[in-house]
Structure 1
Amino acid sequence: MKSIARWALLLCCWAAALPAHALYKVVGPDGKVTYTDRPPTEVSRVQPLTSSGAPAAGGGASALPFELQRVVGRFPVTLYTSRECQPCEAGRALLRQRGVPYTEKTVNTAQDAAALNRLAGGTDLPLLQIGGQQIKGYAAEEWQSYLDTAGYPKQSTLPTSFQFAPPTPLVAVVPAPAPTQTAAGTPRSAPSTSSPPPPAGNAPPGFKF
């Protein structure tokens, strides 16, 4: 009886200590489950775990692979574009084909152009920013080289459920204020500037309506 109790205690201690050292739960092709504190290269069947052994938040199919998360955190990518810009479209296609998550800012107004000039010292587009590095204009080999240096994978590792964020203006559009309304909810009319009608023909001098 003491031997059985000792083995049960050892098993409980082992089970409690396992998640403290294992950060990833990996399911192999044969269904075998293993635990590791190193991010595996095969990310399709990997589930991050918390220190308690529970699945980590954001560990679903839409989460980025671990290595890509780390690169994005260190060297986030921002793409500045404008309408009817063929090089901008080519640059966007390159990022998507390579599987690089990015934020796209559009430059379509005078305010956008002024903000871009303050940011980059010019208004040449497209502008690619990788971390603190800015690359003006589109040159595929140059962009690929900078992405390689930053550590982005050469081939896309994005999950199939990943969706790129839609572009937004560089300068946020502020809606025009609504017209002032009275308590009854009708727009307040402008004060009349028309002159009063002339006095009647028989009115005494100085008479006013």
Structure 2
Amino acid sequence: MKFAAPFFSLAFLLLATSAQAQLYKSTGPDGKVTYSDTPPATGNVVQKKTGSIGGDTDPLPYELAQAVKNSPVTLYSSDKCIPCDDGRKLLTGRGIPFTEKTIKSNEDIAALRRITSEDQLPVLIVGRDKQNGFDSSSWNTTLTSAGYPQSNRLPKGYRNAAPVAAAPSAKPAEKAAGTAAETVSTDAPPAAGNAPPGFRF
């Protein structure tokens, strides 16, 4: 009988922990944000969180989180680029969290050339490793070597961020001043098909 009290305390603690696994975030009429383990009766429910208080989705599995931390993945791509689409499908299908940077302007081309001297898209960067052009075998080998799981282990509902330009747009004052360091050589070969000037697929 003397073990009943500690056992009851432990069971109560486990129940309390499991009850807090699901949180609701709501905004009241006064704009006040409230977190609760029960859906609010009034106010605007902004989102439902499960598992982790710190994020909107479940956290990444440990192995995947370590790979993302040690060898982040960045894809450089362009519009109407079939190899870029193939590379994106491979990353998405395998469940690889990645950042996508698009090449559309001369500033984007200059930003990419600071990273690689190759003129072929897509470019995949996994940590310090660079892959120019799409080759599913070499891309998979690089990802596996960096510790990424062979199959998709992303939490349900996970979405990568929207693609962004490789070079952030300059402020109006900087554009007016026109810095010579950001100009791209005019010796680049003419564009072939839908490729940006100086690049091939």
Question: 1:93 matched to which residue of 2?
Answer: 89
1:71 aligns with 67
Structure 2: distance between partners of 1:118 and 1:73: 23
CA contact (8 A) 2:103 2:109 kept: yes
| Structure 1 contact 62–161 (Cα < 8 Å) conserved | no
Q: Which has the higher strand share?
A: 2
Q: Displacement, 1:163?
A: 1.0
Is 2:153 the partner of 1:166?
Answer: no
Which of 99, 107, 112 is the matching residue for 2:103? 107
Contact 1:113–1:123 (Cα < 8 Å) also in 2: no
Aligned Cα RMSD in Å?
2.9
Q: Any unmatched runs of 5+ in structure 1?
A: 20-24, 26-54, 178-209
Q: Distance in 2 between matches of 1:63 and 1:155?
A: 17
Q: Structure 1 residue 159: deviation in Å? A: 1.7
* Residues 1:104 and 1:140: Cα distance change in structure 2 (over 3 Å): same
User: Using a 3 Å threshold, how does the CA distance of structure 1 residues 144 and 62 change in structure 2: closer, same or farther?
Assistant: same
Partner amino acid for 1:154? Q
1:128: Cα distance to partner?
0.3
Return the match for 1:145 from 118, 137, 141.
Answer: 141
When residues 121 and 59 of structure 1 are mapped into structure 2, their CA distance, relative to the original with a 3 A threshold, is same
What TM-score, normalized to structure 2? Answer: 0.59
Q: Using the aligned pairs only, state the percent identity.
A: 36
Q: Matched residue pairs, number?
A: 139
Normalising by structure 1, report the TM-score. 0.57
Contact 2:118–2:132 (CA under 8 A) maintained in structure 1:
no
Aligned to 2:151: 155
Which one of the candidate residues 120, 123, 131 is aligned to 2:119? 123
Tell me which amino acid in the other structure corresponds to 1:146: T
Greater Rg over alpha carbons, structure:
1
